[in-house]
Structure 1
Amino acid sequence: MPNERLRAAMVAGGWTHVGLAEATGVDPKSVERWVNLGRIPRQATALGTTLYNSLYRADDQLLANAHVWGVNAYGAPVWHLRRNNDGGMFDTYTDSFGAVWGTAHPMES
């Protein structure tokens, strides 16, 4: 199954199979497989970008904007989660945020 998102991102960015292959350090045939066959790049060849989510929380409701490489935030999915039970998706996102927040350090002036 072709990867239409990757194809669209390549068109929008002006990337060719050869250009993307050179930028990621893989063979152009690999890029062709990613685009035409929907193959997933191995982690060793994954593009060097940080994928993240934006979280907006109010009490027991949360909006999670799952950012997608090559797609502007307004075009990426937003999930509206409500906390119903312990251990659900809501808790997964809030626990993840708490873990990241716990590694933060105050900025020095």
Structure 2
Amino acid sequence: MDDATRTELEAAAFRRLRQHLMHDRPDVQNIDLMNLAGFCRNCLSRWYQEAADARGITMTKDEARRIFYGMPYDEWKEQHQSEASPEKQAEFRDAFARNVGSEGS
């Protein structure tokens, strides 16, 4: 397989993952994704931002989130996210430290 085809397939898989997380399963909470898988929608938007930055495209965290979420992040949270239990928040702190470190997700 040539590099261009591989890149196209990887991009298609990313778009399908985004479709799944944003439209097929918006009920799945970011905190649950992070606690179970070590990444969430915010991580994906951050990785998008990092890819843009690596190519010399300046993009803020808020801009990347708006692109990924298709709306301002605060609107997404209001529409789809619920308050996490203290237990889930404690799990998140551990998962965040292991998977992201000191940088924001």
Q: TM-score, normalised by structure 1?
A: 0.28
Instruction: Pick the structure with more helix per residue.
Output: 2
| Structure of higher CA gyration radius | 1
Greater length-normalized contact order (CA 8 Å, ≥ 6 residues apart): 2
